Amino acid sequence: MKVENFLETAESLWPARLAEDWDRPGLSIGSPKAALERVLLSVDFTEEVLAEAISVSAQLVFTHHPFLLKGVSAVSEDTRKGDLIAKAVRAGVAVFSAHTNADVVEDGVSDVLAKALGLQKVRPLVTIEAGIGHGRVGLLPAGSTIGSLVSSLNSKLPPTLRGVSSTAPAELEITRVALCGGAGDSFIDAAIAEGSDVFVTSDLRHHIAQEAAIPLVDVSHWASESLWLETAANQLRSHLGQIEFVVSSVNTDPWIFNQGSKT
């Protein structure tokens, strides 16, 4: 098999046409003609992820976040990106991403998170076309609370330093839950318009959280998207049986130390 065979399958699962205009999914490092036997899946492409790819003899790293999302003026090895690109090329490791085009589809990032939480009657929060769109909204059983939702998130998501936080008290009862894996503060108004009782997302800033007219639950960006990797791997396995797909064991959440909190 070759990288180009993987690219064809990835396009069928996560069509590039569904990506936002600002997004840069696709092959960012490597040749479509290169041989491919093993793929490592990760949320991000970092030094640690490249080292893991080399250790498991993967010829391609499939990430959620595009490594070259923003324009660069140089890839010299005295820059962090340039150095990592050079190391990947020397190791024969290609890098591919599916980003917003993997956010919006069925069994995409937000859909997997909604299913992990056991939401019922799940549908896109902001519809692009039938069954496809940003975020998800669905129902929890009667009697659910912010506290039970936070507990569920803590049990379903991999542990991170910052954990799960809420702007509402634990005893607040909720039924309709809106969510967006990754940074989704642009969808707060959509969650309100849907009559949601709470909105779950990542990277919430102080003033946005303080002023939102809906209870918010903030989770790790990395953690909220990491659940999707195993689903993506299984989808790829069903199409490309001759290629081995390995989900990375590297936690790429950037927050790794604190000295405890005081309130």
- Each of the 263 residues of the chain gets a pLDDT tens digit; together they read 999 999 999 999 999 999 999 999 999 999 999 999 999 999 999 999 999 999 999 999 999 999 999 877 778 898 889 999 999 999 999 999 999 999 999 999 999 999 999 999 999 999 999 999 999 999 999 999 999 999 999 999 999 999 999 999 999 999 999 999 999 999 999 999 999 999 999 999 999 999 999 999 999 999 999 999 999 999 999 999 999 999 999 999 999 998 775 65
Asked whether residue 108 falls in the same domain as residue 165, the answer is yes
The pTM is what?
A: 0.95
Whether residue 253 contacts residue 222, with contact meaning beta carbons closer than 8 Å, is answered with yes
Does residue 234 lie in a domain region? no
Asked whether residue 91 falls in the same domain as residue 115, the answer is no
185: CATH? 3.40.1390.30
Asked whether residue 201 falls in the same domain as residue 158, the answer is yes
Does residue 88 lie in a domain region? yes
Q: What is the structure's pLDDT at 76?
A: 84
Number of domains in the chain: 2
Q: Which of 101, 126, 159 is the last residue of a domain?
A: 101
Asked whether residue 23 falls in the same domain as residue 85, the answer is yes
Q: What is the structure's pLDDT at 113?
A: 98
Range of the domain at 47: 3-101
54, two tokens: 């080399």
Burial (Cβ within 10 Å: 0-12, 13-18, ≥19) of residue 261: exposed
Does residue 203 lie in a domain region? yes
> Rounded to whole angstroms, how far apart are CA atoms 165 and 88?
37
What count of other Cβ atoms lies within 10 Å of the Cβ of residue 67? 19
Asked whether residue 116 falls in the same domain as residue 210, the answer is yes
Q: What is the structure's pLDDT at 221?
A: 98
